[in-house]
Amino acid sequence: MTGAMDGRAEDRGRVFQASGDQHISEHHHYGAEADPAGGPDSVRRPAVGRPPVVLRDRADVLERLRAGVRAGRCGEVYVLYGMGGCGKTAVAYTFFQFAVDACGRVGLWVSASDRASLRAGMLAVAADRGAADGELLAARNGLRAAADLVWQYLDRSAEPWLLVLDNADQPEILGDGSWLRTSARGTVVVTTRRSAAHWWPGAELQHIGVLPGADAARVLRDLAPHSGTEEEAAQIAERLGRLPLALTLAGGFLSQQVLDPWTMETYGRRLDEGERVELIDQGADALSRKDPRHLVGLTWQLTLDAFEARGLPEATALLRLLARFAPEPLPLSLLNRADLDAVLPPARCETALRALLDQSLTELVDVGARCVHSHGVLLDSVAAATPAGTAPVLDSTAVRLLDVAVPERPDAGPHDPLLRLLVPHALALLRRIGAPATAADALEVATRLAVALHRTGDYLSAWETARTAADLGERRLGAEHRAVLAARSRAGRALFRLGRYPEAEPLLTEVRTAQDRLFGADDPDTLDSAHGLQLVLGNLRRRDEALALLRATVAGRRRTLGAAHPLTLRSRSSLLVLLSAAEVTVEEGGALLDLPDACDRLLGPDHTVTLGARHNRAWALYQLGRFAAADAELRLVTEAYRRRFGPDYPIALSAQQLLARTRSALGHPDEGTALMADVVTRRERGLGPGHPFTLASRELLSTFTSGQPHPPGA
């Protein structure tokens, strides 16, 4: 190969045309010190707060499930389906505990409610079963098929296991990447509201419906034994449609009345006097007028009325705020904020939360981070019944709480499972919000969350979050709103990182063209899209177009942001990679090679932009044949990358591979060969022996061991 782009295939990390990995502020790492079995991605603990003390009328289902694991059978897939609130998760939890405690199975619990949660949970399963950090990192980066990695380790598991995929109400998510498979080493249980057989080929389907009358009455008696007779409990249970969720809410209410306790007879009378609360059970079939899910609204409304009577209006306000978010674990840290003050006094949040917990309107779950978790049917019902006049304040408060939780200026950092927990809530807000101004704020937060995911190397989640947020925002704001275009630009950047250049190029071109027309060529958003587009063009071997666009981006950022701004320095640094050896020496009057020193003075030696500029300069020096200078630079860069990003991160291996070249060029072939052999080993472990990056590294290693020359550009 010849020309400015030669040789960057191996030494620029993630893509063969190396300019991609020199997008300086987007170097990512996965901390090798992180414990993959801990943190919010932990899969050994079911995301269930308070399981039922007694599980009524599920004996036949449980016996069929238990018989399989008791006999040591594996390879089965069971699908527990039914309407929201019927207790599918409770059945799965009870079976999970039996399989773990009585049969010695390894229990693995994953939320399958959305793509980000499913992928994160399944990769945590792979980590639990022995996957190395480098392999997990490669899967998050999109460098290897994540589902294949997970099932490879499930199939190799030394111990038999039980895997629960909870709340799989969008079965198409499981089909993307073939997440649902069978294995000779374990059993899979799925809970879902979707029963169509074509979603579950080869699985045994088990319907979980409402309870029989006697068992439904016993649930109320279990929860509130002193509130009435069995006959009265049976009447209330029938009035509630024998739906376990409604029964739990009613029993929780009755059991907590102290000063003026209600009897079941009183509760039944108030139910008859109440108005039906409409709701949409998202993910399930349409409701009939007699569907018991309609009655969930009556049960919680009676509880909220009692809160008001007891002088606890904050509990009502908090429940309505929770209903702006998704029915997924919500980190408690979001509620420990002064930003609550528009909805309820922050000092009263603890009391309000305890009241909701006491009445079973929400529950605490520990998924590595302490979270509050509410049922989807309940939240849909509460949101539908929230007075229209209070919705704007609830929406703006929810956006502010999420805004504080997302890093203000996301930077390269280790994999952060907490970010994944925020994704469904950011998207739920965009679905709930009606006011355009608040929707724009929510979209900006969701886009920043996508950036944060991107910069931890979770490119698939970043792309899905940005793409979905842009689609939702467009419905409220229109296709040419600044925030919508920014979200689409971020989706294009993630596609680039995933190596999907043919998709990224037209998307970024379209976005940049619209931004140029609407905001001007020197607008920061336009320039950001331009920087991303030149990376794609360079990797599509359209080097002249990429270079012209990069030069224009540098000039625009100088005018708009100033010469010392990190983004300006980052774009200038990219020139060190895109230019040929001859061009580097004359660009900017020869000053470009001094750029890393300027970054050091302006930003500090450990700033991400500074490290990237040093890496880029090392490449330029190597191309110029100045091996000693390149080697000295690379020693510093390699050590910093290993310290910050871990030894398996692509950019760290890229630097090490270039260091192997400089060591060999300086007359230390044994050291160069050892460095290259380590790169090959790590890439084989992380990417597999047949991955193009592994093959390229192995080919370069062969030139070291054979004594063939490997000059700059080779």
- Domain segments of the chain as ranges: 8-30+594-706, 39-207, 213-285
Q: Is the pLDDT of residue 302 over 90?
A: no
Contact 457, 137 (CB under 8 A): yes
**Count of beta carbons in the 10 Å neighbourhood of residue 33:** 8
| Correct CATH for 39-207 of 3.40.50.720, 3.30.210.10, 3.40.50.300, 3.30.70.100 | 3.40.50.300
Q: Is the pLDDT of residue 9 over 60?
A: no
pLDDT digits (tens, 9 = 90+) for 41-77: 579 988 876 666 556 668 889 999 999 999 999 999 9
Residue 11: its pLDDT value, please?
43
Torsion of CA 304, 310, 313, 318, to 10 degrees: -60
DSSP character string of 284-312? SPPPPTT-GGGGHHHHHHHHHHHHHHTT-
Query: How far is the first Cα of the chain from the last one, in angstroms, to the nearest whole number?
Result: 7
Residue 193: its pLDDT value, please?
87
Share above pLDDT 90 across residues of the chain, in percent, rounded to a whole number = 59
User: How many residues belong to the chain?
Assistant: 714
Closest CA to 494 of 549, 523, 545, 535: 535
Rounded Cα distance, 112 and 98, in Å = 22
Mean pLDDT, the chain, integer: 86
H/E segment holding residue 685: helix 669-687
Q: Backbone phi, then psi, for 6, in 5-degree steps?
A: -60, 140
- Burial (0-12, 13-18, 19+ Cβ within 10 Å), 76: middle
Q: Is 86 helix (H, G, I), strand (E, B) or coil?
A: coil
Contact 504, 492 (CB under 8 A): yes
Closest CA to 428 of 498, 354, 374, 486: 374
Contact 420, 382 (CB under 8 A): no
Among the listed ranges 90-99, 168-177, 300-309, 656-665, which one has the minimum average pLDDT value? 300-309
Rounded Cα distance, 602 and 614, in Å = 14
Q: Strand 106-111 and strand 161-166: pairing?
A: parallel
Q: Which tokens is 294 given?
A: 């309609």
Q: Does domain 8-30+594-706 have CATH number 1.25.40.10?
A: yes
Rounded Cα distance, 144 and 136, in Å = 9
pLDDT digits (tens, 9 = 90+) for 564-586: 999 999 999 999 999 999 999 99
Among the listed ranges 166-170, 221-225, 515-519, 596-600, which one has the minimum average pLDDT value? 221-225
Closest CA to 249 of 220, 274, 270, 222: 220
pTM, 2 dp? 0.83
Say if 8-30+594-706 and 39-207 have the same CATH topology: no
Rounded Cα distance, 640 and 636, in Å = 6
Rounded Cα distance, 201 and 160, in Å = 23
Closest CA to 186 of 110, 109, 107, 74: 74
